Chains A and B, each alone.
Chain A
Amino acid sequence: MTQINVTVDGISYSDEVEPRTLLVHYLREWLGKTGTVVGCDTSNCGACTVHLDGRSVKSCTMLAVQADGHQVTTIEGLAENGQLHPMQQAFHETHALQCGFCTPGMIMQAIDLLKDNPDPSDDEVRLGLEGNLCRCTGYQNIVKAVQTAAKAGGAT
């Protein structure tokens, strides 16, 4: 077992984990942060996307021990004082989800995308979200949501 100290959604945690524990399993099973989901076994789908020190990563393709000493933000850490994050609000308003399974990863990656490009075109949104798969084929409204959040501002 290895000792790790990780800050997740603003709270510091100290835990003993097996080195083979994936970050996503640590978040879900140790901390109960089930908002971050596991979609695939191959690092393709992006459903497990979280932020590590402010940049998007796939938490199924990282070991929890690699997050030792770092800050993690999950979908559960976005809302403040009961107010949805502007990106969450935009997904809600533009109906950018059907089954909702890809949504946590889509939102985390969309926020990362706006950090690099605050006013992305249709194509730039699609390219920026290429690591996130939606099997309900809800891409049209997802693109709309990202652009709505970009226009509203404050979405990073």
Chain B
Amino acid sequence: MIPAKFDYHAPSTVDEALRLLSEAEDAKVLAGGQSLIPVLRLRLAAPEVIVDLGRIEELRGVREDGDALAVGAMTPHADMIADPLVREHAALVAEAAETIADPQVRHRGTFGGALVHADPAGDMPTTAVALGAEFLIAGTRGTRTVAAEDFFEDLFTTAVGEDELLTQVRIPKHTGWGSHYEKFVRVAQQWSIVAVAAALRIDGDSIAEARVALTNMGSTPVRATAVEQRLIGIAPVADAVREAVVDVAEGTHPPSDLNGDADYRRHLATVLTGRAVLAAAAG
């Protein structure tokens, strides 16, 4: 099918995009389109206005900004994967981005688009939560900053209002940390049934700091802070890690669907967290 009719705007600045959004009654923002265009084609959405951010150069690219990386919301996944700054200071994001869909989708799909889409089975939101990213949200009244734990509100729902735009994500540098994204899928291109993001700072023979977050274990990414605390001070060896992560699924509310019921997902989360932490320690 082809999408229903819409009015199309391709502004070249953020200000112009914000003005268009504030004037439109029923507008949708088009980033890379790798989720939105299939939704339009299936007519699951039929907005009257599309505001395409593809012509706004200022929204692309990665740069260093003090102790953080400043990532433009329209930076494609393929650019994130290839970016030396991301590899050095936020390797977790690059590793997880490599598991998104397929190469063609990664050429078009964007970091910011995946975050604002906020699919509970999406991979980018979990990495942003794990690394404690901050989100810069622009509106006609100015720009505000929202912390990762406040950004993801519910299924496909974020703190970005209908007349606002996510413009930049600030990812605190995790230079020298080991990281791993352990994603469980059954077939190619599949969304995560469950996935676990882990990043560790190793000091000597033991874990000095840990970040662990879970994908598709609830309506938003779950940061496993209790497990992070329990990992501190232990040696990254199999028995100790498995013991530290055993309760990782406690208090989570994962979905039940054809890929597995909630208990199955809780079991998976425990096994995958152990694997993710051990792999992060090794790399």
Q: Which of A43-51, A86-94, A140-148 contacts B (4 or more CB under 8 A)?
A: A43-51
Q: Which of B97-105, B127-135, B145-153, B200-208 contacts A (4 or more CB under 8 A)?
A: B97-105
Residues of A within 8 A of B188 (CB): 130-131
| Pairwise interchain contact A56-B2, C-beta atoms closer than 8 A | no
Given A18-B5, A19-B8, A42-B38, A130 and B108 contact (CB-CB distance below 8 Å): no
Residues of A within 8 A of B189 (CB): 44, 130-131
Which residue of the partner chain B has the closest CB to A108? B104
A49 to B102, CA, bound (A): 12
Which residue of the partner chain A has the closest CB to B40? A20
Q: How many residues of A contact B (CB 8 A)?
A: 32
By secondary structure, the A interface counts as mixed
Given A41-B42, A55-B78, A62-B37, A113 and B103 contact (CB-CB distance below 8 Å): yes
CB of A73 within 8 Å of the partner chain: no
| Pairwise interchain contact B34-A65, C-beta atoms closer than 8 A | no
Residues of B within 8 A of A25 (CB): 2
- Within the complex, what minimum Cβ distance (angstroms) separates B36 from chain A? 9
Contacts of A68-112 to chain B: CB distance below 8 A: 68, 109, 112
A90 to B181, CA, bound (A): 36
CB of A66 within 8 Å of the partner chain: yes
- Within the complex, what minimum Cβ distance (angstroms) separates A36 from chain B? 13
Q: Which of A19, A60, A109, A130 contacts B50 (CB 8 A)?
A: A19
Contacts of B35-56 to chain A: CB distance below 8 A: 37-38, 40-42, 50, 52, 54
Q: How many residues of B contact A (CB 8 A)?
A: 29
A61 to B38, CA, bound (A): 7
CB of B6 within 8 Å of the partner chain: yes
- Within the complex, what minimum Cβ distance (angstroms) separates B87 from chain A? 15
| Pairwise interchain contact A46-B6, C-beta atoms closer than 8 A | no
CB of A8 within 8 Å of the partner chain: no
| Pairwise interchain contact B10-A62, C-beta atoms closer than 8 A | no
| Pairwise interchain contact B37-A41, C-beta atoms closer than 8 A | no
A residues with a Cβ closer than 8 A to B are: 2, 18-22, 25, 41-44, 46, 49, 52, 55-58, 60-63, 65-66, 68, 109, 112-113, 128, 130-132
5 further contact pairs, Cβ within 8 A, besides A18-B5, A21-B2, A46-B104: A2-B8, A22-B37, A41-B41, A52-B107, A58-B105
Counting from the closest, the 6 A-B pairs by CB-CB distance are: A131-B102, A19-B8, A130-B188, A20-B3, A55-B107, A58-B104
Q: List 27 A-B contacts (CB under 8 A).
A: A18-B5, A19-B8, A20-B2, A20-B4, A20-B5, A20-B6, A20-B40, A21-B2, A22-B2, A41-B1, A43-B37, A44-B189, A49-B104, A55-B107, A57-B104, A57-B107, A61-B38, A62-B108, A63-B33, A66-B33, A66-B52, A131-B103, A131-B104, A131-B105, A131-B188, A131-B189, A132-B102
